[in-house]
Amino acid sequence: MIEFKNVSKWYGSFQVLKNCSTSVEKGEVVVVCGPSGSGKSTLIKTANGLEPFQEGEIWINGVSVGARDTNLPKLRSQIGMVFQHFELFPHLSVMRNLTLAQVKVLGRKEAEAQRRGRELLERVGLSAHVDKFPGQLSGGQQQRVAIARALAMDPVAMLFDEPTSALDPEMVNEVLDVMVDLAREGMTMMVVTHEMGFARKVADRVVFMDEGAIVEDCLKEEFFGDPEGRSERAKQFLSKILSHS
Amino acid sequence: MTGFDFDTIVRTAPYLFKVGLAFTLKLTVLSTAGAIVLGTLLAMMRLSSSRLLSGVAGAYVNLMRALPLILIIFWFYFLVPYIVGWVTQAGRPIAVGGFTSALITFILFEAAYFCEIMRAGIQSIPSGQAGAGYALGLNYWQVMGKIVLPQAFRNMTPLLLTQMIVVFQDTSLVYVLSLTDFLGAANNVAQRDGRLVEMFVFAAVVYFIISYTASRLVKVVERRMAIAR
């Protein structure tokens, strides 16, 4: 469903993505991990054209992201995205955050958009906060609203860019629970995260990146179950990140 | 003709306010509204990734800010009839009237200053906000109109209002076009009745009261917004 073919990207002379190739099949959950600065977030943002790339191709359901004649807004409306810093619109109520793009992009009627919005708020456990503003919610609540906002577009796949990194520890689980439910329902997901517990629980595959390159791209069972078969860099990373969990 | 003649002020007050001040306020409000719209478009151009658009907007802003307002007023007063004549294909200059000419001049001039305010306002919104809008499938105009600009206007309201007070004071320069704004009306009375001291002191007091009160109100708005955040 999402396919990266030899994607490379430079900031000036600095190469942030080096020949990255991987894919996410329909219904698959792929976790992307790696040390900070390894290009994980950049890679996931190229998937819906938020970050341009100079070489390679990205295909989503047969549509090329980088092609000049691609209708990017239409493509993006089919791919949900959740950000590290939530990026809810602070001047709009929670409900308006959920309905804005439904009305403007999908052309839904206001009433229909609100109905869909209410359904999704209920699903993430925030029905009571419909009329509040984002600033009145905790970080975990804001991130759940952000997930509901993305789901309101009825996307075919969801991208998560470190969705729990900006949260207080006690709020991480409420967000992960929502994501686990989504994964179990068969949503196609690409998730950049350091939460290895989440990866173990629901990931199908794990992609490990370092210095802009994809170093490992294997099944979850191989990644966690066969440390000897891993590259030196991934071993180091795993030993650091898993020693306390 | 000795002593400070309050009676002149009282007698001419209806004329000063109903004709003069009404003109000044009308010109201030319309100029500010127009200049905010044009200034916002210029700010969007300046921040555009297109070199051409940002270059044109940057050159325009720098040119306007490098010239004295009074010169621009003269320029447009004599040029606008020719431009209108050319645009309408009339083949001759079309008289546009002092008010229209002044309004166009102020919009074009003040837009440069409002552009800089709106540029700062747009840049004060984290880029992730626009990113989130694009990720939902909104296009540039929707992202600007629904997400970035509403927040930018909100953040910049105190500065926009402060610049409006500057416009209010600047409008007094239209006296060079023989238009009867508040200062022009005061000047008319002063010349006619030989009451220069009274009228110019009174004009100064009125300008002071309005500008000072307005800037105090801006402070209140500023404090309210700080709490709301």
A193 touches chain B (CB under 8 A): no
Residue of chain A whose alpha carbon sits nearest to that of B151: A91
Considering the domain boundaries, does residue B150 fall inside one?
yes
Query: Which of B124, B136, B146, B157 should be substituted to probe chain A, the one whose Cβ sees the most A Cβ atoms within 10 Å?
Result: B136
- Whether B136 sits inside 8 A of A74 (CB atoms) is no
What value does the mean pLDDT take over residues A77-99? 95
Residue A138 confidence (pLDDT) above 90: yes
In sequence order, what are the residues at sequence separation of 6 or more whose Cβ sits closer than 8 angstroms to the Cβ of residue B89? none
If you ran DSSP here, which 8-state letter would residue A163 be given? T
Give pLDDT, residue A244. 57
H helices present in B47-97, as ranges: 51-66, 69-87
In chain B, residues with a C-beta closer than 8 Å to the C-beta of A105 are 136-138, 142
Is residue A43 within 8 Å of residue A209, measured between CB atoms?
A: yes
- Using an 8 Å CB-CB cutoff, list chain B residues near A87: 126, 128-129, 131-132
Start-to-end CA span in chain B (Å): 58
Distance from CA of B136 to the nearest CA of A (A): 5
List, in sequence order, the alpha helices (H) in A91-138. 94-104, 110-123
Residue B206 placed within a domain? yes
User: Do A67 and A14 touch, CB atoms closer than 8 A?
Assistant: no
More confident residue, B2 or B220: B220
- What is the mean predicted confidence (pLDDT) over A160-178? 93
Say yes or no for a CB contact (<8 Å) between B135 and A73. Answer: no
- Coil, strand, or helix at residue B124? coil
**Cα–Cα distance between A117 and A120 in angstroms, integer?**
5
pLDDT given at position B125: 95
User: Any idea which of B41-50, B192-201, B210-219 has the lowest mean pLDDT?
Assistant: B192-201
- Residue B60 belongs to domain with CATH number: 1.10.3720.10
Give the residue-averaged pLDDT of B137-159.
95
- Cβ count near A46 (within 10 Å): 23
B136: nearest CB among A45, A76, A85: A76
- pTM value? 0.89
Is the pLDDT confidence value at B44 over 90?
yes
DSSP β-ladder status, A55-60 and A63-64: antiparallel
Tell me the chain A residues in contact with residue B135 when contact means C-beta distances shorter than 8 Å.
48, 50, 76, 79-81, 83, 150
Q: Give A77→chain B minimum CA distance, Å.
A: 4
Is residue A40 within 8 Å of residue A210, measured between CB atoms?
Answer: no
Tokens encoding B158: 């105190």
Q: How far is A100 from chain B (nearest CA, A)?
A: 9
Is pLDDT above 90 for A56? yes
Q: Does A73 touch chain B (CB under 8 A)?
A: yes
Residue A81 to residue A136: CA distance in whole angstroms: 22
At A32, give phi and psi (nearest 5°).
Answer: -105, 120
Judge: A83–B128 Cβ closer than 8 Å, yes or no: yes
Does residue B192 lie within any of the structural domains? yes
Mean pLDDT of the B35-43 span: 97
Q: Does B174 reside within a domain? A: yes
Task: Return the structure tokens found at A111.
Answer: 């009433």
Burial class of A51 by CB neighbour count within 10 A (0 to 12, 13 to 18, 19+): middle
Q: Taking CB atoms and an 8 Å limit, are A74 and B126 in contact across chains?
A: no
* A64 and A57 Cβ atoms separated by less than 8 Å: yes
Most B-contacting residue of A75, A91, A96, A145 (CB-CB within 10 A), to test interface: A91
Lowest mean pLDDT among B32-46, B158-172, B187-201: B187-201
Nearest C-alpha of chain A: how many angstroms from B125? 11
Are A105 and B137 an interchain contact pair (Cβ–Cβ within 8 Å)?
Answer: yes
SS3 of residue A216 by DSSP: strand
Contact B135 A91 (CB under 8 A): no
As a whole-number percent, the residues of chain B with pLDDT over 90 amount to 67
Judge whether A227 and A235 are in contact, CB under 8 Å: yes
Interchain proximity A83–B131, CB inside 8 Å: yes
Contact B173, B69 (CB under 8 A): yes
Measured CB to CB, residues of chain B less than 8 Å from chain A are 126, 128-129, 131-139, 142, 146-147, 150-151, 154, 229
Tokens of A134: 């984002």
A135 vs B contacts (CB less than 8 Å): 229
| Residue type present at position B210 | I
* Contact (Cβ atoms closer than 8 angstroms) between residue A149 and residue A77: no
Residue B138 to residue A89, Cβ atoms within 8 A: no
Helix (H) / strand (E) containing A92: none
Cα A146 to Cα A178: distance, rounded to the nearest angstrom: 11
Burial label, B71 (beta-carbon count in 10 A; 0-12, 13-18, 19+) = exposed
Q: How far apart are CA A14 and CA A11, in angstroms?
A: 5
Q: Which two tokens stand for residue B20?
A: 């003069």
As for how many domains chain B has, the answer is 1
User: What tokens does B208 get?
Assistant: 């002071």
Read off the pLDDT of residues B108-124 as tens digits, 9 standing for 90 and up.
999 999 999 999 999 99
Kindly state the tokens that stand for A13: 């002379």
Q: What residues form DSSP beta bridges with A13?
A: none
Residues of A in contact with B126 (CB under 8 A): 85, 87
**DSSP helix/strand/coil, B209:** helix
Nearest-angstrom CA–CA distance, A160 and A57 = 21
Question: Residue A9's pLDDT band (boundaries 50, 70, 90)?
Answer: very high
Contacts of A85 in chain B (CB under 8 A): 126, 128
End-to-end CA distance of chain A: 33
Amino acid in the structure at residue A35: P
C-alpha torsion sign, points A181, A187, A191, A197: positive
- How, if at all, do strands A205-210 and A29-33 pair? parallel
Helix, strand, or coil (residue A19): strand
Distance CA B155, CA B101 (A): 32
Instruction: Nearest by CB to B136, from A77, A85, A91: name it.
Output: A77
Range(s) of the domain holding residue B53: 6-228
Residue B215 in any domain: the answer is yes
Average pLDDT, chain A: 92
With beta carbons under 8 A apart, name residues in chain B contacting A104.
138, 142, 146
Alpha-carbon distance of B24 to B27, in angstroms, equals 5
Tell me, yes or no, whether B1 lies in a domain. no
Pairing of strands A205-210, A188-192: unpaired
Q: How far apart are CA A153 and CA A130, in angstroms?
A: 17
